[in-house]
Structure 1
Amino acid sequence: MTPAEAAELLAHCAAFDRRTIGEADARAWSRALHDVPLDDDTRGAVAEHYAHTDQWITVAQVRAIRARIRSGRIDAAHPVYDGQPGETGEQFVARRRAQVTAAAEGELPARTITQAIGAAPSENLLALLPAVGRPVVEAEEPGPYVDEQTRVEIREHLPGNRAALVELEVDCPNSRCRAARRHLCRSSRGRELRGTVHGQRRDAYAVRHAQCPECGAPPSHACTTPEPHPARVRAATADRPMPNRRQLDRLMRTPPAPRKSRARHTTGGTQR
């Protein structure tokens, strides 16, 4: 800062504290601020000082406040320099200093850390943010993922016994089970019945889908007896898909596991 610039800075201070300025004052401030330019940050340091106190500002306070103003811009800009391939150490230092100086001068805008390192959210994600927190309009209930005809074709080529359980199309009316459609029945102990269903579910399926050969009751109408006629049950499952042949062959060749005897507790002791 030259003596003329120092005199201009002191005139700026005098506008606040009505101090008297002389040539000696200008030369003294110029020597003390020889490495500080007269810019908007220096003038801003004087204005910030007198915005909080009525005491005369000193050279040390001008330096400290100006440094704090510029440091705040650097912190807000988060300057990041990754370097360039093939650059020397001196080039790295010079370019890094230039970047920090640009941030202090306000040439780099304020940004977050994620923006500085290039990890900011994409534009597509930012476009979705305004919709966060808004209620979603209820859409119509979607239809089945696979239509019924395609399901039938798929079941015909699936191995195992699951395809043979056509009774799964109805809810199980058994009071201890109450399995919903497409869910296996459960025993009284909570185990899934994978190869069969409860008799009440079998009867319910026969009433819904088959006509009774004995009493002539049409589908979805009960027989003249409390329970469906056996012929109606057989007619409902006459076209039941057969299990996989390899599985049947394996089951026929595998002997049943021996039944484990359980101990019985009696008054006379333990019997096996």
Structure 2
Amino acid sequence: MTEDELTALLAFARTRDSRVRRALADPQQSARTIAEWTDALADVPAMLPATGWDASHAVRRYYEQRTGDRSSQFRPVEPHDVLAAWAPHRAELMNRHTDPVPAADPDNPQAWREELLGTRAAVAHGHVPPAQYRAAIDRPGQRRALALVEDVGTMPRPYVPPAVADELAAQGFGTRRKAFPELEVGCPLHTCRAHPRRRCRRPSGTELREHTHDLRQRAYSEHLGHLMTQTPAARPVRARHTTGGQHR
């Protein structure tokens, strides 16, 4: 938040707490308070209408004592109260974010990494909305995609042996593809640790029905990469039988 935004936020807090009003009545104390809040909340946006964040709502909830916290009875609102309210909202933004492919040259690892981390930081600070590529491939997205390609390729499909179709489905391709092929591996997230073929869970224990954790998706990608680098097993040599007698 900028200094002007913090001034407006403190003016809102004055209407809720006479202690803030008295502290801001002195010009020197007011300037010092605004400077301290601006430094502490520099990475917290004042408002994000698209995601429902509003710093003034965090101040109001502090005084409404919705969570049973009675701190407002003993002290006025402080910067760390706003930070505590912003932290779960920021975590939700990052959980919905899917890293877009950087525009930097992939042969320049430093520039590629800087752009990737810069995009994540911009989302975490509320400067840009999360890139929700995953929203396009969830179950409703799959139905929309199937509707778009319903009339594509009306000619009979080439024959694919069942064993090959099953293998493609395991890798996430074909008409038999699995909704979440990453369930083939366990989830490495420390708050989940779901076993293979088990859905990811929230810290509360409830299952995730529409997506899986990012770390599990990355682990599955690494698993596929490992499989692709393995040398295929040699095919057994079969004896060829002929008819018509022996060759002389």
Query: TM-score by structure 1 length?
Result: 0.35
Please identify the structure whose Cα radius of gyration is greater: 1
